[in-house]
Amino acid sequence: MFKRVLVANRGEIAVRVIRALGEMGIESVAIYSNVDKGALHTRLADYAICLDGDRVQETYSNIEKIVEMAKVSGCDAIHPGYGFLAERPKFAEAVEKAGITFIGPKSEIISLMGDKIEARKCMISLGIPVIKGSNSAIETFKEASEIAEEIGYPVLVKAAAGGGGMGMKIATNSEELEFILDTVRSTALSLFADGTVFLEKYLVRPRHIEVQIMGDKHGNYIHLGERECSIQRRNMKIVEESPSIAISSEIREEMCKAAVTIAKSVGYTSVGTVEFIYENGEFFFLEMNTRIQVEHTITEMVTSVDIVKEQISIAVGKALSLKQEDVKFTGHSIECRIYAEDPNNSFMPSPGEITNCIMPGGPGIRIDSGIIAGYTVSAHYDPMLAKLITYGRDREEAVSRMYRALREYYIEGIKTNIPLLMAIMKDKDFKECDISTKYLEEKGALINNSHSERKTVYISIENSN
């Protein structure tokens, strides 16, 4: 087992990993930027090292600095969390070269699955269904136009190195395509240092469904079921649940089998997620996330499997602690992502000091959070503050518990998206699971009317005696 692990992240995922390490008897080393001094993850870790800087590039995305800190602090492994460097092959490679264990798949696997074009080719060779589109990089507008005419508009222009909902735009005609092609290519260069783009047929009202997989170094592979992740804003998930009640048992079995086949075919050794697009009874491979997923929590709730601990054990070299037949699915779980966003300003980030924070509790409630009262939310990083997770015997109970928990959640000093999440939980279409990735685009009134925070009405009754 590892003796000491550096957690190369911040916020709630750093807290989650540090807690798992503590339960496994492994020392943890937190890293932090200047603006994160005193953050919750630094207080929970055994050791904390300042990265000396504020910007992402000089702190949490600085490969050389992080690897050096791991070496100096005597760490024998690094856990990347998600985001930042988690899916950067160069980071995994640098960690490996330093003689430190990277808690995740090998760098070459991250590289293969991180390149959307190569991953698409891999799926085609395995017989996994993919959305119609280009099977190689688009070099010219003429080439893009010909493919778009063949598969039909609208089309999605995607960055080959993209991920997390970034680096993609929709074109509905030839004129838009020419402009969007240049825009996505420029964005991709800026975000991923790779301007390679490709085309896919744009599905109008699909669902986003993903499968959690695990693979160890002994050739064992299992899945932990699927998650429904269709409620998104700006291509970013905000509400997830498990299981999906929209797919049949037959489709579920096919999806999960396909996900395990993919993991086996590339020799995947860690935890990961295979994402699919589902529409009209058909599913198509979207991408593979070669890291711990933000929404792993809901899978943990319905399977009682600690995915982070399994990930660490796999990296040590241990076999999976369970076989496929050992995985039992019970109940229903929902996750809401709590963001520092201003509903009155198009949900733009809302940095500032958290002056008060009252978190919900009670049966079936879990909170993965990186915030405390007095913490200052920085404009330098992603505005997600916490994840609120509920569990119920069925979906109805999980939804009702989520609404109740959201009503109890008080974060003062900044604006949050809690009112929007409450409105979603009360929405008729959501309750009936009539949702898609276009749900929020179709719910303008719901968004416009979800700007006010809940307040308790205090009633004073005079004594009549």
* Orientation angle between helical segments 116-126 and 249-266, nearest 10 degrees: 110
Burial 207-222 (b: 16+ CB within 10 A, else e): bbbbbbbbbbeeebbb
End-to-end CA distance of the chain: 71
Quick check: is 291 catalytic? yes
Please state the separation of Cα 51 from the chain's center in Å: 24
CA atoms of 29 and 14, how far apart (whole Å): 10
Which residue in 291, 401, 404, 454 is the catalytic one?
Answer: 291
User: Is 249 exposed, middle or buried (CB count within 10 Å of its CB: 0-12, 13-18, 19+)?
Assistant: exposed
For 107, phi and psi rounded to 5 degrees? -60, -35
Residues in Cβ contact with 457 at an 8 Å cutoff, skipping those fewer than 6 apart? none
Q: Which residue has the tokens 């957690």?
A: 7
What is the amino acid identity at position 360? P
At residue 109, the 3 state secondary structure works out as: helix
**What's the rounded Cα separation, in Å, for the pair 207 and 172?**
20
Decide if 177 contacts 184 (C-beta within 8 A).
no
Q: Which residue has the tokens 């958290």?
A: 354
In the structure encoding, which two tokens stand for residue 129, read together?
Answer: 């269904």
The H or E element containing residue 306 is none
- In DSSP notation, 45-59 reads SSEEEE---SSGGGT
Residues labelled as active-site residues: 291
